[in-house]
Amino acid sequence: MSQGRRAGEPGVNAIAGWWARAPWTLRWRTLALPRRRQIWAGVLLAVGVAFPSLVGSAGYVDAAANAFTYVLLALGLNIVVGFAGLLDLGYAAFFAIGAYGYGIAASGQLKIPWSDVWKPLLWLGQVQRVPIEGGPDLVQLQISFWAMLVIGATICALFGVLFGAPTLRLRGDYLAIVTLGFGEIVPVVARNLDWLTNGAQGLGGVQTPRLFGYEFGFSPYPYYYLGLALVTVAIFISFRLQESRVGRAWMAIREDELAAGAMGVNHVHFKLLAFAMGAAIAGFGGAFHVAKLTTATPEMFQFPVSVMILVMVVLGGMGSVRGVVLAALLIASLQSVILQELSLWVNAVGRSIGSPWLARVQLITSLELIFGFILVFMMLFRREGLWPAVRRVAALTRDQQAALPTRAAEVSLSWATPAPRTGPARPLLEIQGLTKRFGGVAAADGINLTVDAGELVSVIGPNGSGKTTLFNLITGLTGRDAGTIRLGGEEISGLPPHEIVARGVARTFQNIRLFNNLSVLENLLVGEHTRLRAGALGAIVRPPSVREEERRAVESALEVLGLFGNRLIPRLEHPVYGLSYANRRRTEISRAIMTRPRLLLLDEPAAGMNPAETLELMDLVKALRGLGITVVLIEHKLDVVMDVSDRVIVLDHGVKIAEGKPAQVRNDERVIEAYLGRRRRVA
């Protein structure tokens, strides 16, 4: 690859060629991605473990240990902002809660009179009984750091849910403001609740952690290794979550919340989970930070801290775990090492050229200025961050691009059972008196209709006749004013969209709504969401059951993509924003099929396709019907509709004006009138 670009540099070319042909390079290329990652992780961890002996200076080890706090915070915020797309401007609040949590539990701050309730904890060595002259004995908390790591993270997660819950319905920038509000309130409370936090002076004398009798004390080395362990765990959690049902659900919400709901993602649950996970990691960071500093003051958690963490995430690339870690280390070393060393150098230069300003300048004071420039420059010139999350995918080869489209030899899906074409009709979808008004306009006005299992029904009508509204009502995206919708005899009206999907209704959108920054495969896997069980814990631990369901999900996705022959399979790993229009339509239809629907609602699937592609698609739709999937189609290409449908329903101004076999409907006086206008009567 590089040969073409560097043709003019024979030296570089020769080295590059030698490197590319070297045995280790060839061996490395043959390794599977997970294996390569394990090797990278092993190498980095070895470097991390060896770092203190490599630098040999306690100052640097101390700086690195402090940096780990920020790496933890950045990883936590990355879950909220990067994965789930929820801009949290008050993230330092969780840092504060985690920090004060450990600080209060491991210092003499609380003055609790002694009573026998504390005896079990005394026996466990988690409290001390302090005799006070001339008064009742007091309890002094000295809860173990390790216990507080877990308890603190849990408390933070609860606060994450508490602060996240009000923001669920809010759009991005409003959400940011509400989180900013919480971020302001927490330090003010910390400053004002003297009995709990010791106010503006802050907590003092927090005990340091102890492990099997080993006292951490004030040497930076044990904190360095503790921080390294916590960061390793947080990175592991981040990667595992990212590549799981949970991570895909977050990213789906980030890309298109409405489409995510229509694919079965419960956005309330997953947004709160993101807040809770992000907050829990901040809780780790807080406890670690306070254990190392042995103090906590309100100033440590102000707005600029939230912004600093945001700068790390923005600089590294929102959603990019490796990028965020790198950026956090960079910013932390900028703060603790680079700017100070640079200042010394600049001051020396200033003295030698006789400039008193240069001789005195402290570059560390311009740290926030640098943050400001980073934010502006990244947003203007490189929004995806220094090391973006989106993997670069090899472009299709010329052969692949030029390959003739093939079609699936036989349309089959392992989970679908071809419906018997005989026997009495069983109604699958029954709608009665369905009404929806927008202001004075009735987009659906007392619609009654029934779709039998295994049928292929088209809904047609002029623009604004309420076709898409009908789909929105069935899928729960729009609430109804009156009427009932039943699926297989069960009432589904009033259910949220994700539950309707789970009951077997899937849809596509008129103006394609894919998750643009996710790959074709990931888009399809979101469609599988309701079939998978893994929660956050399952995603992190990845037990055999989760591995198995992931493997089956990928198999299922390949099977569905196979319906489109070689159209999508070679583009499996490509982000969908780069696909052609027709291929995006196909991806969206595949994603809907992935939910294993009983009822598939296709909203103008052939829009923007050429006649050949339209025919191909309609053959597929007919084949799906043959597999027992009931299909309702909104379509404007009337010849298409007349050709494939068993039955046609015509809407006009939210009213069903005709229904029947295509041939009947074609000649219906009212339909012609709706489409072409009233025939003028000749007097």
Partner 1 sequence: MSVGEVLLQQVVNGVALGMMYALLALGFTMVYGIIELINFAHFSVFMTGTFLGLMVLHLFGFTGSSAALTGLPLVGMLLVIFPVTMALTGMLGVLIERICLRPVRGISGTAPMITTIGVAFILINLVLMIWGPQSKPFPKIIPDRRWAWGNAEITLSQVMLAVAGVTLMLGLNYLVRRTALGKAMRATAQDMDAAKMMGVDIDRVIVLTFFLGSALAGAGSLFFGFYYGFTAFYIGYTTGLRAFTSAVLGGIGNVPGAVAGALIIGLIQALGGQILGVKWTDVIIFSILITVMVFRPAGLFGMQAPQKA
Q: How far is the CB of 112 from partner 1 (least distance, A)?
A: 25
Radius of gyration of the chain (CA): 31
Q: Does 166 bind partner 1 (CB under 8 A)?
A: yes
292-311 binders of partner 1 (CB under 8 A): 303, 307, 310
Of the candidate residues 78, 107, 167, 614, the single one contacting partner 1 (CB under 8 A): 167
CA distance 26 to 15: 15
Greatest C-alpha distance within the chain: 113
Q: How far is the CB of 91 from partner 1 (least distance, A)?
A: 13
Nearest to 116 by CA among 97, 137, 98, 95: 137
Residue pair 283/94 in contact (Cβ under 8 Å)? The answer is yes
CA distance 651 to 482: 18
Nearest to 100 by CA among 148, 45, 33, 38: 148
Of the candidate residues 21, 27, 171, 391, the single one contacting partner 1 (CB under 8 A): 171
Q: How far is the CB of 194 from partner 1 (least distance, A)?
A: 11
Cβ-proximal residues to 307 (8 Å cutoff; 6+ apart), any chain? 89, 371, 375
Q: How far is the CB of 193 from partner 1 (least distance, A)?
A: 10
Which region, judged by CB under 8 A, interacts with partner 1, from 46-54, 225-233, 278-286, 374-382? Answer: 374-382
232-261 binders of partner 1 (CB under 8 A): none
Cβ distance to partner 1 smaller for residue 311 or 459: 311
Q: Does 93 bind partner 1 (CB under 8 A)?
A: no
Q: How far is the CB of 175 from partner 1 (least distance, A)?
A: 9
Residue pair 157/271 in contact (Cβ under 8 Å)? The answer is no
Cβ distance to partner 1 smaller for residue 179 or 530: 179
| 120 CB burial (10 A radius; 0-12, 13-18, 19+) | exposed
Cβ distance to partner 1 smaller for residue 422 or 511: 511
Q: How far is the CB of 230 from partner 1 (least distance, A)?
A: 27
Instruction: Provide the token pair at 231.
Output: 């960061």
Is residue 602 within a helix (H) or strand (E), and if so which, with residue range? strand 599-603
Of the candidate residues 122, 375, 390, 638, the single one contacting partner 1 (CB under 8 A): 375
CA distance 224 to 52: 8
Q: Does 441 bind partner 1 (CB under 8 A)?
A: no
- Beta strands of 48-115 (E only): which ranges? 112-113
Q: How far is the CB of 491 from partner 1 (least distance, A)?
A: 26
Cβ distance to partner 1 smaller for residue 172 or 217: 172
Of the candidate residues 176, 230, 443, 460, the single one contacting partner 1 (CB under 8 A): 176
Cβ-proximal residues to 112 (8 Å cutoff; 6+ apart), any chain? 118, 138, 139, 141
Q: Does 357 bind partner 1 (CB under 8 A)?
A: no
Q: Does 78 bind partner 1 (CB under 8 A)?
A: no
CA distance 524 to 514: 10
Residue pair 394/331 in contact (Cβ under 8 Å)? The answer is no
Instruction: Provide the token pair at 595.
Output: 């939910």
Residue pair 475/502 in contact (Cβ under 8 Å)? The answer is no
Cβ distance to partner 1 smaller for residue 175 or 561: 175
Q: Does 350 bind partner 1 (CB under 8 A)?
A: no
Which region, judged by CB under 8 A, interacts with partner 1, from 7-15, 82-90, 618-626, 666-674? Answer: 82-90
Name the residue type at position 222. P
Q: Is the dihedral of CA 601, 606, 608, 609 positive or negative?
A: positive
Cβ distance to partner 1 smaller for residue 138 or 178: 178
Residue pair 67/333 in contact (Cβ under 8 Å)? The answer is yes
In a 13 Å sphere around the CA of 199, the CA atoms on its Cβ side amount to 5
Of the candidate residues 26, 43, 55, 369, the single one contacting partner 1 (CB under 8 A): 369
Q: How far is the CB of 163 from partner 1 (least distance, A)?
A: 9
Which region, judged by CB under 8 A, interacts with partner 1, from 9-17, 134-142, 244-252, 363-371? Answer: 363-371
Cβ distance to partner 1 smaller for residue 179 or 587: 179
DSSP state for residue 298 in the 8-state scheme:
G
Instruction: Provide the token pair at 15.
Output: 């080295």
Q: How many degrees, rounded to 5, is the angle at CA 59 between CA 58 and CA 62? A: 85
Cβ distance to partner 1 smaller for residue 126 or 366: 366
DSSP state for residue 296 in the 8-state scheme:
B
Cβ-proximal residues to 637 (8 Å cutoff; 6+ apart), any chain? 606, 614
DSSP state for residue 529 in the 8-state scheme:
G
Q: How far is the CB of 199 from partner 1 (least distance, A)?
A: 10
Residue 412, SS3? coil
Q: How far is the CB of 84 from partner 1 (least distance, A)?
A: 12
Which region, judged by CB under 8 A, interacts with partner 1, from 119-127, 377-385, 434-442, 542-550? Answer: 377-385
Of the candidate residues 13, 16, 126, 181, the single one contacting partner 1 (CB under 8 A): 181
CA distance 166 to 179: 10
Of the candidate residues 26, 379, 396, 441, the single one contacting partner 1 (CB under 8 A): 379
Q: How far is the CB of 418 from partner 1 (least distance, A)?
A: 40
Of the candidate residues 13, 366, 435, 484, the single one contacting partner 1 (CB under 8 A): 366
Q: How far is the CB of 612 from partner 1 (least distance, A)?
A: 34
Q: How far is the CB of 181 from partner 1 (least distance, A)?
A: 4
Q: Does 374 bind partner 1 (CB under 8 A)?
A: yes
Q: How far is the CB of 174 from partner 1 (least distance, A)?
A: 6
Q: Does 170 bind partner 1 (CB under 8 A)?
A: yes
Is residue 289 within a helix (H) or strand (E), and if so which, with residue range? helix 267-293
Number of residues that bind partner 1 (CB under 8 A): 41
Of the candidate residues 9, 368, 490, 491, the single one contacting partner 1 (CB under 8 A): 368
Name the residue type at position 420. P
Cβ distance to partner 1 smaller for residue 211 or 379: 379
Q: Does 162 bind partner 1 (CB under 8 A)?
A: no
Cβ distance to partner 1 smaller for residue 54 or 168: 168
Q: Does 191 bind partner 1 (CB under 8 A)?
A: yes
Cβ-proximal residues to 527 (8 Å cutoff; 6+ apart), any chain? 263, 264, 506, 590, 591, 592, 593, 594, 595
Q: How far is the CB of 308 from partner 1 (least distance, A)?
A: 10
Where do contacts with partner 1 occur on this chain (CB under 8 A)? 85, 87, 89, 166-167, 169-174, 176-178, 180-182, 184-185, 188-189, 191-192, 303, 307, 310, 314, 365-366, 368-369, 371-377, 379-380, 383
